[in-house]
Each structure stands twice: as structure tokens, then as C-alpha cells.
Amino acid sequence: ITTGARRGELIGLQWKHVDFAERTIHICQSMSETTGERTLKTTKTMATRFVALDDDTLAALQVRWDELNAQANRMDVRFGMDDFVLSPGPGVAMPIRGDRLYKTHRWFCDQLGITKVRFHDLRHGHATMLLQAGVDLATVALRLGDDPVTVARTYVHGAVKEQHKAMKAIQERLAEAGG
């Protein structure tokens, strides 16, 4: 929920796309899965983007890196920047499958007593929370790798509350101006 990335973008993320110093990930590819075949391709919109990370996500990535690196050393296998963040283990050439990510998501939801939350809902939740927090449409679109018009059309359902706040602000300004 903290990146707004699509499933394939997360699965296709390699360690060379994680910048711990800049606190960003570079989303520049996606893992496509069709009829049992998996290939790296461009993102859905064919655009790349840098997404800023929060402290918790950055810490989780650091733990993951350290764990995989330690496993690689114990197993005496190669591990490095070309490996996938969501790899089943060090030295594995491909990341986890999409269905595995879905099953893990479902398991966590079940453990927390959360029902009816699809994995893609995390992306929608990300956008909605940003818009409700007052983040401008262009920034939200940039984080999602979408066009601002698409974001506005998709997330208009969460904007009614914000419209009421905007109208209240206009009324206050008009009252101050004597109108």
C-alpha cells in the first residue's frame, strides 16, 4: 500500500532498482505472466518512475536484503543487484509467481481478520489516501505511473468529501471578502 505499484511491477522489481541512499525504488519494468510463461516487459503505461519510500518500507527492504544476502553466503550461491526483491531465495533466477503473491496477501488478510480486500485494492487505497490527504493530482499520478486524467476519473468516488471541504473554503473566502 505504501508504493501504489502494480502487482507485476512489484514482482519485476530487482535490487538494482532499490536506492537505499535516495530512499526510492525505480519502477521501470513489470513481470508478465500468461499461460505459464513469465517475461519481463515495460510497465503498463511504458513509462518509468521513481517512487519515494517511507521509513517502514525502507527498513523492510533492508531486512529482506540482509536475509537474502546471509542465505546466499551460507549456501555459497551468487546474490546481487540483478536478483529480484520478491525472489523465493538467493540464486533463484526468477521472482515469485503472481499467484503466490496473491496467496500471501490473502493469508495476511485472514490473519488480520480483513475480508474482501483484493491485492489491487492496495493500489487504489494508496491513491485514495493521498488524494484525501490533499496531495495534488499530478503527484499521485506520478507515484502510480498513470495519467492525471485517468487518476481523476478512477478516484473521483473519494473526492466528494474533498469537494465539500473545497466549497466550505470558497464560502469562507467569499464571506471574508464581503460577498
Q: Give 58-76 as a DSSP string.
A: HHHHHHHHHHHHHHHHHHT
Helices 119-132 and 160-176, packing angle to 10 deg: 0
Q: Is 141 helix (H, G, I), strand (E, B) or coil?
A: helix
Identify the pLDDT of residue 165: 74
Residue type, 107: W
pLDDT tens-place string over residues 101-135: 888 888 888 898 888 888 788 888 888 889 888 89
- Total residue length of the chain: 179
Which segments in the chain show pLDDT lower than 50? none
Identify the pLDDT of residue 74: 95
